[in-house]
Amino acid sequence: MTTSTRPVLALDIGGTKFTAAMVGPDGRPQNPVVVPTPTENVWAACEELLLQAVSAAGVEFDDIEAVGIASAGPVDVVAGTVGPINIAEWYEGFALVDAVRSVLPHATVTLALDGACAALAEHRFGAAQHAENLLGMVVSTGIGGGLVLGGRIVSGRSGNAGHVGHIVVPGSIEPCTCGGVGCVETVASGPNSVRWARENGWTGTTGIELAAAARDAEPVAVAALQRAGVAIGQAVASAAALLDIETAVIGGGFSAAGPALWNPIRETVALHARLDFLRGFTVVPAALGALGTLTGAAALVTDA
């Protein structure tokens, strides 16, 4: 949602794919362009993606007044840099805001954590329109998140508030790519769930295959999704007690794994979220799908 009638150029930087599109005032991305996350020459691929998205929308570069960027974290919104854990070339920090400005020198460029953008989009246009206070969680290649409190994104000191993927799971000693130990991402992301299942005798290779195996009641696949769902539920319940929020919205590709994942999420939240002020707290699937983060990135422009 923007106060301008001009569309906003939105960019989503993820561990699996990059997506860009022009987004109108209705929050809908127009002719989005998607590319797999590159392993090298990452900025060159990103710049080409922006060019393609503008061309696909039939917009002139000179007409673009604003760019909203959603990025996997960590991010530094003060410095305008990103250091996604799953993008090795940028892990030490890449000045993405300055790079985008070099292509679009007359546009305002605004950066936020991808989970925060997803949460904002669900609040404005999706499954959490009823809630002023919510946690957004993205369960995919990694696990990200973001906060909307009082109807606005909460950024924190550097822009990483709500990065729920690095809440520690009770009893876990799995090393995380962040350098810590026992983060919920190490237990419940798609790749880490697949890794655990394979270590325990399952022979598939992807999260999609793992979800299908769980639907077929394959024991190891069911156990892997049970394990992931419990970890996600523990993280969500902890965040709810800390923040006094009304709802958590969970999206991302791996969140579509079905009841084998969602039942333990909800059961675990019900087990732990027992304080009186959490009565009525809900956990719901995201409604906007994979493009919701672009919608939130565009909405950043107004909030900025």
Which pLDDT does position 304 carry in this prediction? 63
pLDDT in tens, the chain (304 residues): 334 557 899 999 998 899 999 998 889 999 999 999 999 999 999 999 999 999 988 888 888 999 999 999 899 999 999 999 889 999 999 999 999 999 999 899 999 999 999 999 999 999 999 899 999 999 998 899 999 999 999 999 999 999 999 999 998 899 998 899 999 999 999 999 999 999 999 999 999 999 999 999 999 999 999 999 999 999 999 999 999 999 999 999 999 999 999 999 999 999 999 999 999 999 999 999 889 999 999 998 876 6
Residue 236 lies in a domain: yes
- What is the domain range of residue 193? 130-286
Q: Are residues 39 and 180 in the same domain?
A: no
Which pLDDT does position 5 carry in this prediction? 55
Residue 2 lies in a domain: no
pLDDT, tens only, 151-176: 999 999 999 999 999 999 998 899 99
Q: Is the pTM of this model over 0.75?
A: yes
**Alpha helices, H only, the chain:** 42-56, 96-103, 114-125, 184-188, 190-199, 207-215, 219-243, 259-272, 292-303
Specify the number of domains making up the chain: 2
Residue 123 lies in a domain: no
Q: Are residues 33 and 52 in the same domain?
A: yes
Residue 3 lies in a domain: no
Q: Are residues 177 and 261 in the same domain?
A: yes
Q: Are residues 230 and 135 in the same domain?
A: yes
- Paired sense of beta strands 282-285 and 81-82, if any: unpaired
Residues facing residue 145 across a β-bridge: 137
Peptide bond preceding 74 in cis form (omega within 30 of 0)? yes
User: Residue type at 122?
Assistant: E
How far apart are the C-alpha atoms of 137 and 157, rounded to whole Å? 20
Q: Are residues 168 and 76 in the same domain?
A: no
Q: Are residues 155 and 281 in the same domain?
A: yes
How far apart are the C-alpha atoms of 149 and 133, rounded to whole Å? 4
Q: Are residues 79 and 16 in the same domain?
A: yes
Which pLDDT does position 59 carry in this prediction? 83
Residue 109 lies in a domain: yes
Q: Are residues 111 and 149 in the same domain?
A: no
Q: Are residues 282 and 295 in the same domain?
A: no
Tokens of 302: 């107004």
Residue 125 lies in a domain: no
User: Residue type at 59?
Assistant: V
Tokens of 238: 């902890």
Q: Are residues 144 and 109 in the same domain?
A: no
Residue 244 lies in a domain: yes
Residue 267 lies in a domain: yes
Q: Are residues 189 and 100 in the same domain?
A: no
CATH for 296: 3.30.420.40
Q: Are residues 69 and 170 in the same domain?
A: no
